[in-house]
């Protein structure tokens, strides 16, 4: 993050706005809404600011800015159309370590003014870090239509009972679960419908029925998909926000891990070749122990938990210990990565079947049913096969597939770091080595790979930049010399 989102309490605090035009007027109005004492420095004021001054809502210094205006000020906004003045304000404020915002100039800011969805006491702030204020405002407009105005009243109603709920539950986890259930149930519906008295009675009855005892633990076995956060399911997102602790694998991308509840404990249980942070049996027992402690455990696995994810082994252990669990499927790498690479896994002209296998090397060999794999009109998808790629290609050729069979290897598919190398069974190992590919990768073998050239639709940012640089270079070559 370029900026840390915070909410400042400036009620009854002295704030300064430099500028007297329409932009300054909007900033003054926002500060007044927070209960700040606002002073404005400007030779002239807009009609609205003149009215505020006449009503005694603001103080006015009818002069140009001087550093002395910052005495006892806790926050400054520069909203003039003079860049030199804005620079002067920013430098003077930063010298005194006073937070300063310069409108439309993030380089001079120590804080950003976000777009705000106001459902007080519920506030939502949206910022693009100064890169695209219009985009932030468009997102705010969408949220305004999605979040009823009564949500502010709902937050206030919940606040009235916050201390009482806190006294009822000595276990913080139980308290959090109660509020999650309450705010997603009938209590919220009653408040939003204006039935305040009925809502209060319902909440009190619900509270009396809840015993103050440790919560029952549960495990959520969730597929995180192939890496792109946009491919998560709604159910996965909901459970990711409810979990008390997350046990995650190496293939779970940082962008997805960032979407887990902020205060959830994180435990890395990744596996790499010849280096396992935790053995599988240890992971199984860890899930049991955490659930027995009353925690809601998110077991987050790359792809789908039941496709080369050992999810079945984990829930077998949970079932043996009578631990409640849920399973949320994820988009497996085969379908997700192939789709983003523009390679259909089946096609009536090229492949009428598809098979998934794992390409782990053991003693420099791979124990697979080669005759079954080396069949015509079939797509082979190989997980975890980068290291064994030469052996895989050799064996498929040895068992009947032509060495000219199209093949592709995709690194970090579906993400902005996606890289695709295509060739044949004969050429792909050398091409992959030249490209210096690293895990995670997925290998696809079959005639459908030929469709990649025409069907590739996803262009990662890195490829787009390379393409742009390529055309710029060509453009420069075509221009006559300035000499």
249 labelled catalytic: yes
* Catalytic option among 13, 57, 271, 450: 271
Task: Give the DSSP H or E segment for 221.
Answer: strand 218-223
271 labelled catalytic: yes
CA distances 423 to 143, 250, 349, 431, Å, are: 47, 28, 20, 7
DSSP code per residue over 235-252: HHHHHHHH-SEEEE-TTS
* Catalytic option among 249, 295, 301, 304: 249
CA distances 228 to 256, 327, 340, Å, are: 7, 20, 10
Farthest-apart Cα atoms in the chain, separation = 91
Long-range contacts of 384-388 (CB under 8 A, 24+ apart): 384/308, 384/358, 384/359, 384/360, 384/439, 384/440, 385/358, 385/359, 385/360, 385/441, 385/443, 386/359, 386/432, 386/437, 386/438, 386/439, 386/441, 386/443, 387/273, 387/361, 388/359, 388/360, 388/361
Q: Using an 8 Å Cβ cutoff, are 17 and 27 in contact?
A: yes
Output the six-digit token pair for 456.
């590739």
Contacts of 66 (CB under 8 A, 6+ apart): none
Helix (H, G, I), strand (E, B) or coil at 483: coil
Query: Which residues pair with residue 442 across a beta bridge?
Result: 383, 410
CA distances 413 to 211, 302, 338, 439, Å, are: 48, 12, 8, 11
Q: Cis (ω within 30 of 0) for the bond into 121?
A: yes
Quick one: which of 119, 97, 94 has its CA closest to 107?
Answer: 94
CA pair distance 132, 137, nearest whole angstrom: 9
Output the six-digit token pair for 435.
């490209």
Q: Which residue has the tokens 């103050």?
A: 212
> For strand 218-223 and strand 325-328, is the pairing parallel, antiparallel, or unpaired?
parallel
Helix (H, G, I), strand (E, B) or coil at 479: coil
Q: Give the catalytic positions in this structure.
A: 249, 271
């Amino acid at each position: 993050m370029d900026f840390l989102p915070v909410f400042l309490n400036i009620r009854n605090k002295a704030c300064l706005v430099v500028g007297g035009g329409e932009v300054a007027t909007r900033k003054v109005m926002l500060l007044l809404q927070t209960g700040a004492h606002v002073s404005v420095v400007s030779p002239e004021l807009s009609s609205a600011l003149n009215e505020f001054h006449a009503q005694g809502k603001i103080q006015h210094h009818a002069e140009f800015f001087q550093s002395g205006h910052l005495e006892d000020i806790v926050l400054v906004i520069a909203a003039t159309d003079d860049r030199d003045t804005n620079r002067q304000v920013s430098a003077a404020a930063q010298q005194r370590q006073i937070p300063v915002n310069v409108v439309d100039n993030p380089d001079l800011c120590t804080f950003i003014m976000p777009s705000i969805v106001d459902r007080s006491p519920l506030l939502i702030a949206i910022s693009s870090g100064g890169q695209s204020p219009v985009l932030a405002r468009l997102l705010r407009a969408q949220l305004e239509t999605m979040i009823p105005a009564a949500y502010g009243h709902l937050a206030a109603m919940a606040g009235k009972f916050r201390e009482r709920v806190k006294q009822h539950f000595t276990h913080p986890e139980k308290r959090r679960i109660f509020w999650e259930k309450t705010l997603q149930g009938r209590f919220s519906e009653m408040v939003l419908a204006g039935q305040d008295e009925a809502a209060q009675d319902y909440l009190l009855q619900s509270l009396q029925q809840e015993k103050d005892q440790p919560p029952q633990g549960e495990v959520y076995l969730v597929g995180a998909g192939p890496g792109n956060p946009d491919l998560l399911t709604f159910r996965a997102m909901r459970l990711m926000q409810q979990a008390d602790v997350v046990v995650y694998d190496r293939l779970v991308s940082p962008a997805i891990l960032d979407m887990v509840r902020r205060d959830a404990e994180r435990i890395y249980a990744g596996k790499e070749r010849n280096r396992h942070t935790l053995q599988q049996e240890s992971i199984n027992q860890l899930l049991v122990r955490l659930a027995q402690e009353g925690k809601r455990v998110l077991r987050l696995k790359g792809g789908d938990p039941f496709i080369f994810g050992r999810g079945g082994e984990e829930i077998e252990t949970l079932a043996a210990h009578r631990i409640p669990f849920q399973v949320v499927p994820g988009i497996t790498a085969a379908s997700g990565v192939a789709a983003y690479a523009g390679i259909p896994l089946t096609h009536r002209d090229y492949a009428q079947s598809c098979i998934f296998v794992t390409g782990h090397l053991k003693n420099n060999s791979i124990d697979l049913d080669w005759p079954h794999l080396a069949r015509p009109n079939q797509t082979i998808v190989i997980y975890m096969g980068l290291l064994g790629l030469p052996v895989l290609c050799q064996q498929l050729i040895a068992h009947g597939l032509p060495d000219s069979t199209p093949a592709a290897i995709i690194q970090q598919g579906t993400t902005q770091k996606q890289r695709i190398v295509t060739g044949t069974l004969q050429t792909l190992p050398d091409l992959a080595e030249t490209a210096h590919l690293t895990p995670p990768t997925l290998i696809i073998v079959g005639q459908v790979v030929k469709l990649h050239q025409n069907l590739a639709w996803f262009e990662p940012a890195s490829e787009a930049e390379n393409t742009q640089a390529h055309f710029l270079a060509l453009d420069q070559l075509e221009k006559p010399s300035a000499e």
